[in-house]
Amino acid sequence: MLNFFQSVMNPEWYHGHTHSAPFFESWTYKLVSANQDAVYAIIPGVFMNVGGSNNHAYVQVLDGITGESTYFRMGSFEAEPNGFDLRMDKCSFSADALSLNIDNEFGSAQGNLSFGNLKPWPTTLFSPGAMGKTGWLPNMKYRHSVLSFDHIIDGELTLNGKTVDFSGGHGYLKNEWGVTYPKASVWMQCNNFDMPETSLSGVAYVAPTPFDSEFAAFSVGLRHDNQLFTFGNYNGAKVARFDVTDSSVDWVLYTNKHELTIKATRPDTGLITVAGSDDMDREVGLSLQAEYEFQINALDGVRNMPLFSGKGTLGALQIDQLAALIKRLPTE
- Would you list the DSSP string of 240-303? EEEEE-SSEEEEEEE-SSEEEEEEEE--S-EEEEE--SSSS-EEEEEEEEEEEEEEEEEE-SS-
Residue 216 bridge partners (DSSP): 206
CA 176 to chain centre: 7
Phi and psi dihedrals of 328, rounded to 5? -100, -25
Closest CA to 54 of 15, 21, 19: 21
The span from the CA of 292 to the CA of 36, in Å, is: 16
The span from the CA of 87 to the CA of 238, in Å, is: 41
CA 331 to chain centre: 23
Residue 90: CB atoms within 10 A of its CB come to: 14
The pTM score is 0.96
CA distances from 312 to 2, 134, 231, 283, 294 (A): 39, 30, 20, 26, 9
CA distances from 78 to 46, 87, 92 (A): 10, 5, 9
Burial class (CB in 10 A: 0-12, 13-18, 19+), 268: exposed
- Sorted by where each begins, the domain ranges of the chain are 4-328
Per-residue pLDDT tens digits of the chain, which is 332 residues long: 578 888 889 999 999 888 889 999 999 999 999 999 999 999 999 999 999 899 999 999 999 999 999 999 999 999 998 899 999 999 999 999 999 999 999 999 999 999 999 999 999 999 999 999 888 888 888 999 999 999 999 999 999 999 999 999 999 999 999 998 999 999 999 999 999 999 999 999 998 777 767 889 999 999 999 999 999 999 999 999 999 998 899 999 999 999 999 999 988 889 999 998 889 999 999 999 999 999 999 998 777 899 999 999 999 999 999 888 988 888 87
